[in-house]
Amino acid sequence: MIVRNSLQDADLPQDDPRVKQLNVKMKKEGYKPDALIEILHNAQNSYGYLPINVLRYIAKVLRLPPSRVFGTVSFYHFFSMKSKGEHTCLVCTGTACYVKGAQKLLDKVEEKFGLKQGQVTQDGKIGLQAARCIGACGLAPAVILDDEVQAKVSPEDLISKLTSKLETHEQG
């Protein structure tokens, strides 16, 4: 029995700030199919890469054939569909977060794990990315650890959270 995942079922958690940002972008472009590339740029900026469920969601909302979306993503070297690490640490470097010390967060992670933004640890456990505003300025400085938004993060907080991610990983 072959399972067909209909595009109609494609959905994303609507309370995720990255989804909100994506929705705003698509609305701003008038849901025009020819704005696909701009919308993909936007999605990759906030996710760090283009997960398949995001592509499904974009295809559904823009009413584009899945193969057209996939073809576009695979054509341009800029777009990546690979996750950048098993645990992703996305530090927001938008204006508000920057003022509230996003750079200190990035520096601390580099000091502790030897990671610069855009890199993944050698064991592939943690990937560090920076994104322009993730739309959570009230929570500055904000970090998205895996799929959870962390509000008002201090450098020490971030390191302990990342360390506990690694520990739960080892136990699991």
Partner 1 sequence: MMALVTIYIDGKKIIAGSEKTILEVARENNIEILTMCHLKGLTDVGACRLCMVELEGSPKLFSACTTKVADNMIVTTNSERIRRYQRITTELFFAERNHICAVCVSNGACELQDLGYKVGLDAIRYPHLFPQCEVDTSHPLYVMDQNRCISCSRCIRACAEVEGAYNWDMMNRGYQIRVISDFNTLWGESTTCTSCGKCVQACPTGALWAKSIVQGQQDKHPEFITDLMERRKMNL
Kindly state whether residue 58 participates in binding partner 1, applying the rule CB under 8 A: no
Contact letters for partner 1, residues 59-98 (x by CB under 8 A): ------xxxxxxx--xx-----------------------
Q: Which H or E run contains 169?
A: helix 155-171
Minimum CB distance to partner 1, residue 51 (Å) = 11
φ and ψ of 150, to 5 deg = -105, 125
Cα separation, 150 vs 146, in Å, equals 10
- Type of residue at 35: A
Separation between Cα atoms, residue 77 and residue 161, nearest integer Å:
33
Here's the x/- map for partner 1, 3-42, by CB under 8 A: it reads as: xxxxx-----------------------------------
Give yes or no for residue 55 binding partner 1 (CB under 8 A). yes
Q: Is 1 in the site for partner 1 (CB under 8 A)?
A: no
Contact 118, 162 (CB under 8 A): no
Nearer to partner 1, 58 or 139 (CB): 58
